């Protein structure tokens, strides 16, 4: 029903999602947290498919943060196992649908088996152009910014970069995925209105949408709701509403 209301010509190009609420969902069902994560995999499947159908070009999914490494070992191990399971089960369909898989974060911390599967999935889908699915894994926004600063400092040290030439563009080019546009829409499930160290640089002008729906219950209809809400917003980028209405001066690309 909702789908008719969203405008096909104004689908956000890049949607990012903080997939939160697996543990709480499970506890409410009398299940353990790990079963919540397992159920969350079904939502990943559904949302990747839905985003593709709706014409989203880039879907970034926050799957595991640098801080999540401090969770109980059993939970961390289970999450890594689920990552492997997801890649094994989905790579065929992703590839068939022309979806390019990417991952960003401190991937060297992932267990070897998970990392190997991830690298092979990335390699296999590297030339696909229908849509990009980017997993933020072992990811922290502050780490990403610090890593970029270190990279630029090295370039300066080696005489390849003039410090005076460093601006927003140079800096953005040193981040993990410089080719991708900034997210237009950031969805957080599970009801918390916080960013939890996700894409700190890239969300400067992203529209935020928090939903009470827990990640294991999130489906296409919820994505459509979020896109509908997004389409009601006026993105002003610091300008006045009048300026924006007079010729899209606020539009940035």
Which residues are identified as catalytic?
20, 68
Distances in Å between the alpha carbon of 242 and those of 110, 194, 245?
49, 30, 5
User: 144: number of CA atoms within 13 Å, CB side?
Assistant: 26
Q: Which of Mg ion, ligand IPE, none does residue 63 bind to, with CB < 5 to 8 Å depending on kind? A: ligand IPE
Are the C-beta atoms of 38 and 215 separated by less than 8 Å? no
Phi/psi class of residue 238: alpha, beta or left (left: φ > 0; alpha: ψ in -120 to 50)? left
Answer yes or no whether residue 66 interacts with ligand IPE by CB under 6 A: no
Scan residues 90-149 and list those touching ligand IPE (CB under 6 A): none
Mark the segment that binds Mg ion (CB under 5 A) among 17-25, 118-126, 160-168, 179-187. 17-25
Are the C-beta atoms of 59 and 131 separated by less than 8 Å? yes
Answer yes or no whether residue 18 interacts with ligand IPE by CB under 6 A: yes
* Rounded least distance, CB 203 to ligand IPE, Å: 14
* Alpha helices (H) in the chain, listed in sequence order: 22-28, 33-54, 73-96, 112-124, 141-157, 168-173, 220-231, 241-245
Residues 189-218, one symbol each (x = binds Mg ion by CB under 5 A, - = not), give ------------------------------
* Rounded least distance, CB 188 to ligand IPE, Å: 8
Answer yes or no whether residue 79 interacts with ligand IPE by CB under 6 A: yes
Answer yes or no whether residue 20 interacts with Mg ion by CB under 5 A: yes
Gap between the Cα atoms of 206 and 59, Å rounded: 14
Query: Which residue in the set 47, 51, 59, 63 belongs to the binding site for ligand IPE (CB under 6 A)?
Result: 63
Residues that bind ligand IPE (CB under 6 A): 18-24, 62-65, 67-68, 79, 190, 192, 194, 196
């Amino acid at each position: 029903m909702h789908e008719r209301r969203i405008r096909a010509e104004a689908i956000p190009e890049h949607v990012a999602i903080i997939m939160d609420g697996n543990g709480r969902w499970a506890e409410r069902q009398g299940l353990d947290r790990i079963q919540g994560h397992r159920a969350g995999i079904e939502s990943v499947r559904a949302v990747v498919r839905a985003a593709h159908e709706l014409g989203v070009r880039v879907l970034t999914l926050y799957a595991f943060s640098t801080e999540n490494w401090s969770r109980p070992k059993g939970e961390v191990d289970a999450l890594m196992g689920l990552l492997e399971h997801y890649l094994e089960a989905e790579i065929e369909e992703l590839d068939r649908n022309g979806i390019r898989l990417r991952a960003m974060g401190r991937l060297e911390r992932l267990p070897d088996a998970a990392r190997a599967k991830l690298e092979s999935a990335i390699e296999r889908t590297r030339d696909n152009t229908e849509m990009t699915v980017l997993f933020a894994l072992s990811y922290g926004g502050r780490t990403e910014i610090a890593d970029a600063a270190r990279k630029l400092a090295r370039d300066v040290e080696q005489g390849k970069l003039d410090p005076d030439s460093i601006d927003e563009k140079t800096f953005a080019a040193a981040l993990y995925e410089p080719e991708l546009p900034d997210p237009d829409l950031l969805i957080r499930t599970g009801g918390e209105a916080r960013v939890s160290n996700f894409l700190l640089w890239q969300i400067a002008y992203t529209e935020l949408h928090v939903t009470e729906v827990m990640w294991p219950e999130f489906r296409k209809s919820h994505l459509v709701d979020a896109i509908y809400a997004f389409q009601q917003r006026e993105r002003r980028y610091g300008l006045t509403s009048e300026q924006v209405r007079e010729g899209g001066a606020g539009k940035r690309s």
